[in-house]
Amino acid sequence: MSNERLTQQMAFLLEADKLKTILRRTPLTDNSRQENSAEHSWHLALAALTLSEYAPPGLNLARVLELVVVHDLVEIDAGDTFAYDLKGHEDKALREQAAADRLFSLLPHDQAVQLRERWDEFEAHTTIEAKFANALDRLQALLQNLGAGGGSWSAHGVTRAQVLRRMGPVEDALPEVWPFVIGIIDRYCAIGAIAES
């Protein structure tokens, strides 16, 4: 192993630590503060392990873990774009592509290619692993809002239609979990934490 390779790997890991400083709009379930993106990624990895029994046949769980660990690294440069921020989504893809170019290039070439491929796979939503990982990404935010009594939904006036659109990947990739999702959405509409229209 060359010193240059190890130096590049350590530089990447130090840069990746900045993900802990990126705050998301979703609060922790105890409403004490906003969740950061590193916590979100860890929670997704745990969700993948916990909910793997609902995954489609043939799913490669190790690959899902790779996807969820790298999926939000780009937020170090691009920031977290709130799921319901239409203006923020206008240039989100460009900001995140530029961030991916910079961040993954810190690694030795072979690892840069491998991790960039995982990030691209997550973004493309085409493999069963990416579909499962994206469904978990949506489900995790739902759980945060559930635990926080409406959380970012209430704080930002999110509507039932918006939440249903956002949760679409859950219905597709985790059909057994979908009734649970609908139950939460309906309950939070009933108490006014999600607006009906």
Residue 2: what pLDDT? 67
**How would you write the pLDDT of the chain (197 residues) with one tens digit per residue?**
569 999 999 999 999 999 999 999 999 999 999 999 999 999 999 999 999 999 999 999 999 999 999 999 999 999 999 999 989 899 999 999 999 999 999 999 999 999 999 999 999 999 999 999 999 999 999 999 999 988 888 888 899 999 999 999 999 999 999 999 999 999 988 888 788 86
Angstrom distance (rounded) from CA 72 to CA 74:
5
Residue 116: what pLDDT? 98
Task: Provide the residue ranges of all domains of the chain, joining segments of one domain with +.
Answer: 3-190
Residue at token pair 């400083």 = 21
What CATH number belongs to 3-190? Answer: 1.10.3210.10
Which segments within the chain are labelled E, that is strand?
23-27, 34-36
Quick one: which of 36, 26, 39, 41 has its CA closest to 163?
A: 26
The b/e string for 123-139 (b: 16+ C-beta within 10 A; e otherwise) is beeebbbbbbbbbbbbb
Quick one: which of 184, 157, 159 has its CA closest to 170?
A: 184
CA 82 to chain centre: 11
Residue 1: what pLDDT? 57
